């Protein structure tokens, strides 16, 4: 399959809209040994200044969150425990919104993803979580500040999405009212969607 990066204008949508628009599109990682590609099936939106669950709540600007204040479509990577998590920056410059890619469905480069994640795992366990998918696809902290419209790591036009389910986000228990915001979006009945936990 030939993958073409989506134009930068795609990322200019409001963050809640963009989080849904990303579903069904492909994350593509071109590597020397071949292409790794996966379809986005689950996202979570974070609305910076007013969202207590966001790293940039109250316009908090640190070395970690700096890229969130940059151009829409930038790559925001951060570490959680031993995992790298990857986000799409949204919103105008200096409005630190972001969308966490929570789960993807493997499409191409399956053998490499299997090796990256561990040969003993079943396929649906390769990418059904934000730390799992980055390991499967070889996405590291080195991509912090990269742009999703540029190779070798980019988002490409997908083939559409089924019914979208909307619900509260995962694992943000100490976030006040933000715990209940319905800002998680995923494709109904897709086996690669992460398991919900409060």
**What is the per-residue pLDDT for 196?**
57
What's this model's pTM, rounded to 2 decimal places?
0.95
- pLDDT tens-digit map of 34-89: 999 999 999 999 998 887 888 888 777 888 889 999 999 999 999 988 899 999 99
Residues of the chain whose pLDDT is less than 70? 196-198
The Cα-based distances of 9 to 21, 63, 96, 149, 185 in angstroms read: 13, 27, 18, 10, 21
Closest-CA residue to 107 (of 88, 94, 121, 126): 126
- ∠ CA 152-153-157 to the nearest 5 degrees? 110
* DSSP reduced 3-state for 118: coil
Radius of gyration of the chain (CA): 15
| DSSP letter string, 127-146 | SSSHHHHHHHHT--GGGTT-
* 22 contact partners, CB below 8 Å, separation of at least 6: 40, 43, 88, 99, 101, 155
Structural domains of the chain in order of their starting residue, each with its CATH number:
8-187 (3.10.300.10)
Compute the distance between CA of residue 195 and CA of residue 193 in angstroms, rounded to an integer: 7
Compute the distance between CA of residue 55 and CA of residue 70 in angstroms, rounded to an integer: 14
């Amino acid at each position: 399959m030939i993958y073409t990066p989506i134009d930068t204008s795609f990322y200019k949508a409001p963050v809640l809209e963009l989080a849904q628009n990303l579903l069904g599109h492909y994350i593509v990682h071109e590597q020397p040994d071949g292409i790794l590609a996966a379809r986005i099936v689950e996202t979570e939106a974070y609305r910076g200044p007013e969202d207590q669950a966001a790293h940039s709540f109250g316009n908090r600007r640190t070395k970690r969150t700096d890229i969130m204040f940059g151009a829409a479509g930038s790559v925001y990577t951060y570490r959680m425990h031993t995992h790298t998590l990857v986000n799409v920056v949204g919103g105008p410059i200096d409005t630190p919104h972001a969308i966490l890619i929570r789960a993807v469905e493997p499409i191409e480069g399956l053998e490499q993803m299997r090796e990256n994640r561990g040969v003993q795992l079943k396929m649906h366990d390769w990418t059904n979580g934000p730390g799992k998918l980055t390991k499967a696809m070889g996405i590291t902290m080195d991509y912090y500040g990269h742009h999703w419209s540029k190779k070798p790591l980019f988002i490409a036009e997908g083939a559409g999405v089924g019914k979208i389910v909307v619900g509260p986000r995962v694992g943000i228990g100490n976030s006040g009212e933000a715990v209940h915001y319905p800002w998680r979006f995923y494709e109904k009945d897709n086996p690669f969607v992460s398991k919900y936990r409060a």
